[in-house]
Amino acid sequence: MTEPAPAVPARGRLEGYDYDRAALRRKLAEVPQEPGSAKPQPILAVDDIVRRFGGVTAVDVDHLEVQRGAITALIGPNGAGKTTFFNLITGFDRPSRKEEGRTPRWVFQGTELASTSAFRVAQSGMVRTFQLTKALERMTVMDNMLLGAQDQPGERILTALFRPAWRKREAEIREKAAALLARFTLDTKRDDYAGSLSGGQRKLLEMARALMSDPAMIMLDEPMAGVNPALTQSLLGHIQDLRDQGTTVLFVEHDMHMVRHISDWVVVMAEGRVVAEGPPANVMAHQAVVDAYLGSHHDQDLGDDALLDEDFGQAVAAEDAEREGRA
């Protein structure tokens, strides 16, 4: 007999969170199925967010609300603006200069996040996964987890090493990392290089790392991409467990089987805009959705590796400065 996996430290039951999924779905069934519809308990509300790259309008969202406690899928053809939207709301990119009468604004759990740094956004409880970049591949699985803990308020793992309070804190963080690795069946890999993991194991590590900071909402960009079909079922299970234990999930996915299977609500983007919203079964049959997919132009997916690059961070900062100068 193997020991049961150690429980991940719980943050207790959350007030007003729909742990009962059937009740949540009944509630969502009452929500108007139209772009920008109000949700009963939005964890995130976004207004007037626009991002242009030269002549291309990557994102132009008037209004979007994400229901707390739900698994919301964001779908749409390649180039629809899904990844750019994720980048914007998590502070890894900035909206284009505000246009007349439209001020970008988004509120997560009551906190205004426009013009907040990616680090602060993560601290506020909205965390996105990152693909393993070359640098992270050269670290062990455990070290990747410890790096995820940097999102914790007040922690700076690499500089705090010699502070007396550090030892106790470090022990707690390692314990938490070990519990999460066990939960995602990566405990036997803790000392392996992350680069040696399979596609599916990488996705699990990305998820486990994001959970080190106990996010209220986790954002997954194509969690099934590159995952061996044998592992997809367990990944689906993990995502549903996250929701059941109190984490709101927003994910981008191309695999419609997965979207249909696990999401409570689906938001459809096309050419930067939200074109449809609703429960999965209804949305997939919607004319705007069929049109969006038929009219898809298959741009190259830029991925998100560039975001962890220092040059990229500086480029965003420089653009910000330039925009301030022009404003």
Residues that bind ligand ADP (CB under 6 A): 53, 56, 58, 76, 78-84, 299, 301-302
Compare residues 55 and 110 and give the one whose CB is closer to ligand ADP: 55
Alpha carbons 326 and 97: distance in angstroms, whole number: 9
* Burial call 116-150: b when 16+ CB within 10 Å, e when fewer: bebeebbbbbbbbbbbbbeebeebbbbbbbbbbbe
Smallest distance, Mg ion to C-beta of residue 221, A: 6
Choose the stretch contacting Mg ion; rule: CB under 5 A; options: 18-26, 133-141, 300-308, 312-320: 300-308
Q: Give the burial class of 300: count Cβ atoms within 10 A of its Cβ; 0-12 exposed, 13-18 middle, 19 or more buried.
A: exposed
Least spacing, CB of residue 91 vs ligand ADP, in Å: 15
Smallest distance from ligand ADP to CB 100, Å: 23
Query: By CB under 5 A, which span of 49-57, 267-275, 297-305, 306-314 interacts with Mg ion?
Result: 297-305
Q: How far is the CB of 84 from ligand ADP (least distance, A)?
A: 3
Q: How far apart are CA 253 and CA 142, in angstroms?
A: 27
> Which of Mg ion, ligand ADP, none is residue 81 near (CB under 5 to 8 Å by kind)?
ligand ADP
80 is in the binding site of which of Mg ion, ligand ADP, none (Cβ under 5 to 8 A by kind)?
A: ligand ADP
116 binds Mg ion (CB under 5 A): no
Nearest residue (CB) to ligand ADP, 49 versus 80: 80
DSSP state of 197: S
Which position among 72, 83, 87, 144 is part of the footprint of Mg ion (CB under 5 A)? 83
First to last CA, the chain: 66
d(CA 104, CA 49): 5
* Closer residue to ligand ADP (CB): 74 or 218: 74
Q: With binding defined as CB under 5 A, does residue 84 bind Mg ion?
A: no
Residue 76 or 278: the one with the smaller Cβ distance to ligand ADP is 76
Q: What does 302 bind: ligand ADP, Mg ion, none (CB cut-off 5 to 8 Å by kind)?
A: ligand ADP
Supply the minimum distance, in Å, between the C-beta of residue 52 and Mg ion: 17
Answer whether 66's CB lies under 8 Å from 43's CB: yes
Q: Does residue 241 sit in helix, strand or coil? A: helix
What 3-state class would DSSP assign to 291? helix
The edge-to-edge listing of strands for the beta sheet with 126-128 is 126-128, 217-221, 248-252, 71-75, 265-270, 273-278
* CB of 79 or CB of 148, closer to ligand ADP: 79
* Residue 50 CB, nearest approach to Mg ion (Å): 18
Minimum CB distance to ligand ADP smaller for 109 or for 296: 296
Cβ of residue 81: shortest distance to Mg ion, in angstroms?
A: 8
Report the DSSP beta bridge partners of residue 81: none
Residues 6+ away with beta carbon under 8 Å from 149: 155, 157, 173, 176, 177, 212, 213
Helix axis angle, 141-148 relative to 199-211, nearest 10°?
A: 30
What residues are paired with 220 via a beta bridge? Answer: 251
Q: Considering beta carbons, is residue 76 or 280 the nearer one to Mg ion?
A: 76
Out of Mg ion, ligand ADP, none, what residue 53 binds, judged by CB under 5 to 8 A for its kind, is ligand ADP
Where along the sequence are the contacts to Mg ion (CB under 5 A)?
82-83, 301
